[in-house]
Amino acid sequence: MISNNDPIKKLIDELKRLPGVGEKTAQRLAYFIVAMNRRDAEGISNAIVEVKDKIRVCSICYNFERSDPCPICSDPKRDNTTICVIEDPRDLVAVEGGTSFKGLYHVLHGVISPISGIGPDELRIDELKRRIERGGIREIIIATNPTKEGEITARYIQERISGLDVRITRIAQGVPAGGDLEYFDPQTLSAALANRREL
């Protein structure tokens, strides 16, 4: 009989907080960790503590980085007149690694999703607007994923910033509908950026 303060039960409950991890997966992972050698298990536990200690949110683009402002926002060689708006930090890694884009980013940390109860106020859209209002930005490339939620979010952002003196573009279709930027190959992603259209 497993009681509530059983360490294995506790680990299972903690693992269930992770996205996509239900009871069965949490159980499998927990027993795997129990069977691991101490050094490996501590490696996982220390890595979690280390990201919480060392990674912060950039106060300009809202990417996760070790410094604030992040290396991209503080790089004088980047084109600071163009901002690529993306859903989450993984998309930044994809665009940065797979394309020759040299502008700046703005990480929304999600998309508008009524089903999941995520409204525009949960995202960094006001912050984007304020960034544009501070001046110096010529183009906003909206690179949310070509999913239903990604399109709704792109449309919403366009409406919110349409009064400002800035060109608003959307990455080209030709990327698969319902796709996820993170999984595009570099050529598709580069073409999507190069063939962006006016919004």
Residues near Zn ion (CB under 5 A), total: 5
**Euclidean distance between CA atoms 104 and 73, whole angstroms:** 7
Q: How far is the CB of 89 from Zn ion (least distance, A)?
A: 10
What values do phi and psi take at 4, rounded to 5?
Answer: -70, -25
Using CB under 5 A as the binding rule, whether residue 73 contacts Zn ion is answered as: yes
Q: How far is the CB of 60 from Zn ion (least distance, A)?
A: 4
Closest CA to 108 of 116, 98, 120, 94: 120
Which residues does residue 198 pair with via DSSP β-bridges, in sequence order?
169
What Cα–Cα distance (Å) separates residue 69 from each residue in 60, 75, 122? Answer: 7, 10, 22
* Closer to Zn ion by Cβ: residue 61 or 111: 61
| Region binding Zn ion by CB under 5 A among candidate stretches 44-52, 61-69, 82-90, 142-150 | 61-69
| Region binding Zn ion by CB under 5 A among candidate stretches 8-16, 62-70, 83-91, 94-102 | 62-70
Q: How far is the CB of 126 from Zn ion (least distance, A)?
A: 17
Using CB under 5 A as the binding rule, whether residue 70 contacts Zn ion is answered as: yes
Binding-site member from 61, 86, 95, 171 for Zn ion (CB under 5 A): 61
Q: How far is the CB of 61 from Zn ion (least distance, A)?
A: 3
Using CB under 5 A as the binding rule, whether residue 95 contacts Zn ion is answered as: no
CA torsion, points 140, 147, 171, 167, in degrees to nearest 10? -30
| Region binding Zn ion by CB under 5 A among candidate stretches 59-67, 91-99, 167-175, 176-184 | 59-67
**Euclidean distance between CA atoms 179 and 150, whole angstroms:** 10
* Closer to Zn ion by Cβ: residue 60 or 161: 60
Residues that bind Zn ion (CB under 5 A): 58, 60-61, 70, 73
